[in-house]
Structure 1
Amino acid sequence: MLLVLGPPSLPIYGSYWFVLLCNYKYIYKSFDTLARWYNTKLLGLHLGPLPTVVACDLDTVKEIFARPEFNGKLDCYISQARAMGVTLGLFFTDSDLWIEQRRFTLRHLRDYGFARRSVLQEENVRQEVMDLLALLNSSKGREDYDVFHDGCALLPQLFCPGIINCLWSVLAGDRFPPEAHKKLRQVADASFHFVKDVEPTGGALVLTPWLRHFGKKGFGSDGLVKGTGYVTGFFR
């Protein structure tokens, strides 16, 4: 039997308090600190009610990625909220459902020019570049404070509409006009908030999902909840 070393478990949140204590902002650094403290390559701990093992060296991580039994993903409140109450897509699914979603996605994306040369997609990219140059050269664009500030163009906000439009043309066969670019930047900003607030453990709303019944704001997940609501509202 393999003995996995790690911090002790406390009520409700398990070892999560020790993870936050080591490095509240960068959880991956916290895992590294704990692994060095316990002198182990496999860190064992409880994240909320979940028994967890964290691989802390390159060889172990590579081995885990190469073994299918470690491909499972946690079905949690956050993943369901992102997909309108169910578990869908490629990021939050596993097993047969993931295989089905992957095949469906690749098959239909190729129909719209993904991973192959397409005159239509090249024209869409050319049009996005032209719209970007027009924005940079127009005096009206300089008044758009979502894109410009103190005479400087803001990144990545400047590129977000073009990137979303190229993806949208593949997914839906259509693109948004320049008049709708501000809306696309807001969608991108909401997605940034979602990614920024999701840390490797999932945070309080994943470890103790019953907290959502006391209000979805707070608990270190304001950006996550706001970003999820905005993106799902846009697609609806």
Structure 2
Amino acid sequence: MITALLFAILVTFLTGYILQTITKPKKYPPGPKWLPFVGCGNLVQKMSKLHGSQWKALSQIAKEYSTQVLGLKLGSELVIVVYGDRNIRQVLMEPEFEGRPNSFFIKLRCFGKRMGITSADGPLWREHRKFAVKHLKNVGFGKASMEQEIQHEMARLVEYIRSNSYKPISPKSILATAVMNVLWKYVAGESIEEDRLKLLLDLLSARSKAFSMAGGWLNQFPWCRFFFPEASGYSLINRINLQISAIIEEAIQKHKNNAASGDDFIYSFLNQMKLKKGTFTELQLKIVCLDMFIAGSQTTSNLLEFMFLTVLRKQHIQDKIYDEIQRFIGNNVPSWSDSHRLVYTSAFLLEVQRCYAIVPLMGPRRVLSDSIVDGYMIPKDTTVLISVGDLYLDPDIFENPHEFKPERFIDEHGALKNAEHVYTFGLGRRRCPGDALARSFIFLTFVGILQKFKIQCVNGVCPSDEPVIGLIAAPRPYTAMFVPRQ
């Protein structure tokens, strides 16, 4: 009798739990049915493999349900994906969407702690974002000295390309190095040794690929790391994190010993640690440095790769850009102020950012209180993903969106239009704090190289422009010939 009663209680409990896992909250956005324990994670995984990326998979599912807010459950996590300019702006601008998920995967990104700037929220995020922006400006970020630093790095790039003229060059191998050199200068005050730089870039690249691989079941079921540490990607990510951590710790120790030259962000942070302990810890400094390197290096260099790939494939556009450069600045060293005169060039850079969305699925955000998006109720702590990649292909915003057309960003008076629907660097209080560096680096490097070299296909064969989309988008590896201009 007691055994039967216990069995009945167990069955009732399991039935109630299963019903709870498959029952959607009231007024939750439309989306696939949920299975017990896994939600619709298996469907998303299957569709991601079929379409080549999670972004394209979720886009297809949203179209099947004819919705601008897609409601999902991945494992035990409620997730929505927002589409359309109105919904995207709401999530980017309103304070209730400023949170970050308090998930195992987010913590894994920053050495096991939800700290730093990118993955933090609340008072910690507000305090350290404000501090980072202020002190980076104090050491020259966004000022004339930053432009000079970029021009110096651009000159080194030009010299390297000139010494390898008529030889196939991989833009990836030189652009990421140049970006990281400038970033390291502001964070750590001096140039990083070449072998350490190469190692750091290799580790960041491997880390990005590892997180793309682990973004499925490890994210939804963190316990699988105990049973499948290698297959889940957990062991690989930990090994890479340890190596990256060691490089950053080495730079911090050098500053603690006053052995680093110049004024920089690490010195500013260490001084703040002496004045005000609180959240200013060495671990927080290490994670903030990691945030800066990840946010700045790969996205900026990948965008530049797409830009050179585009002029490689579209020689008539390359010629038009070069003619504009010659007409307005000739052989003078380009500066950011030239961006207002090089209208077609600036429009081209915007069109590349639209056509090759570097982060097509922005986020994740966490809802800090029950909210309404497009008439649907979004419960507190729901994870929000932002599909800017679909926005850039919306014909109601961009006419003939699949056509590459820089002129769409030039008005009838020949002036550059305000690119209000291009969210490369985000919007609102979570906007990328390094956008001034990224914009300047992209413009000066692109113009400086095109001013000196004609970019041609190797052996007359143009590479594919189909991107590889993981956590961020990247061109498939390619080489190009850089021919000196007369």
Q: CA deviation at 1:191?
A: 1.7
Q: Residues 134 and 36 (structure 1 numbering): CA distance in 2 closer, same or farther, change over 3 Å?
A: closer
* Structure 2 counterpart of 1:39: 66
**Alignment of 1:4 onto 2:29:** yes
Superimposed CA distance per residue, residues 208-235 of structure 1 (whole angstroms, 9 cap, x where no aligned partner): 1112223432236787555434322321
Q: CA deviation at 1:42?
A: 1.7
* Structure 2 counterpart of 1:145: none
Return the alpha-carbon distance in structure 1 between the equivalents of residues 63 and 148 of structure 2.
53
Q: Residues 32-71 of structure 1 correspond to what in structure 2 (within 5 A)?
A: 32-71=59-98
What code does the residue aligned with 1:85 have? G
Q: Residues 124 and 52 (structure 1 numbering): CA distance in 2 closer, same or farther, change over 3 Å?
A: closer
* Structure 2 counterpart of 1:167: 183
Return the alpha-carbon distance in structure 2 between the equivalents of residues 84 and 211 of structure 1.
18
Return the alpha-carbon distance in structure 1 between the equivalents of residues 55 and 147 of structure 2.
40
* Structure 2 counterpart of 1:214: 227
Aligned to 1:75, which of 78, 97, 102?
102
Return the alpha-carbon distance in structure 2 between the equivalents of residues 100 and 204 of structure 1.
33
* Structure 2 counterpart of 1:89: 116
Return the alpha-carbon distance in structure 2 between the equivalents of residues 197 and 9 of structure 1.
27
Return the alpha-carbon distance in structure 2 between the equivalents of residues 92 and 208 of structure 1.
20
Root mean square deviation, CA, Å: 2.9
Superimposed CA distance per residue, residues 108-138 of structure 1 (whole angstroms, 9 cap, x where no aligned partner): 21121101122xx556445534544554466
**Alignment of 1:128 onto 2:145:** no
What code does the residue aligned with 2:136 have? L
Q: CA deviation at 1:49?
A: 0.2
Q: CA deviation at 1:181?
A: 2.0
Superimposed CA distance per residue, residues 33-67 of structure 1 (whole angstroms, 9 cap, x where no aligned partner): 11221222221121110122221333222222221
Return the alpha-carbon distance in structure 2 between the equivalents of residues 124 and 4 of structure 1.
48
Aligned to 2:169, which of 133, 148, 153?
153
* Structure 2 counterpart of 1:146: none
Contact 2:225 2:234 in 1 (8 A): no
What code does the residue aligned with 2:124 have? L
Return the alpha-carbon distance in structure 1 between the equivalents of residues 153 and 87 of structure 2.
43
Return the alpha-carbon distance in structure 2 between the equivalents of residues 31 and 137 of structure 1.
44
Q: Residues 103-114 of structure 1 correspond to what in structure 2 (within 5 A)?
A: 103-114=130-141
* Structure 1 counterpart of 2:40: 15
Superimposed CA distance per residue, residues 171-200 of structure 1 (whole angstroms, 9 cap, x where no aligned partner): 121112xxx32431332232233334545x
Return the alpha-carbon distance in structure 1 between the equivalents of residues 158 and 56 of structure 2.
41
Contact 2:107 2:114 in 1 (8 A): yes
Q: Which has the higher contact order (CA 8 A, sep 6+)?
A: 2
What code does the residue aligned with 1:92 have? S
Contact 1:160 1:184 in 2 (8 A): no
When normalised by structure 2's length, the TM-score is 0.41
Return the alpha-carbon distance in structure 2 between the equivalents of residues 87 and 49 of structure 1.
19
Contact 1:48 1:208 in 2 (8 A): yes
Q: Residues 125 and 60 (structure 1 numbering): CA distance in 2 closer, same or farther, change over 3 Å?
A: closer
Contact 2:45 2:216 in 1 (8 A): no
Return the alpha-carbon distance in structure 2 between the equivalents of residues 41 and 130 of structure 1.
46
Return the alpha-carbon distance in structure 2 between the equivalents of residues 155 and 13 of structure 1.
41
Q: Which moved more, 1:188-197 or 1:167-176?
A: 188-197
Give the secondary structure class of the aligned counterpart of 1:209: coil
Return the alpha-carbon distance in structure 2 between the equivalents of residues 155 and 104 of structure 1.
34
Q: Which moved more, 1:64-73 or 1:222-231?
A: 222-231
Q: CA deviation at 1:99?
A: 0.6
Q: CA deviation at 1:93?
A: 0.9
**Alignment of 1:115 onto 2:142:** yes
**Alignment of 1:187 onto 2:200:** yes
Q: CA deviation at 1:3?
A: 4.4
Percent identity, please: 25
Contact 1:198 1:224 in 2 (8 A): yes
* Structure 1 counterpart of 2:125: 98
Q: CA deviation at 1:78?
A: 3.3
* Structure 1 counterpart of 2:241: 228
> Any stretches of 5+ residues in structure 1 without a counterpart?
143-149
Give the secondary structure class of the aligned counterpart of 1:158: helix
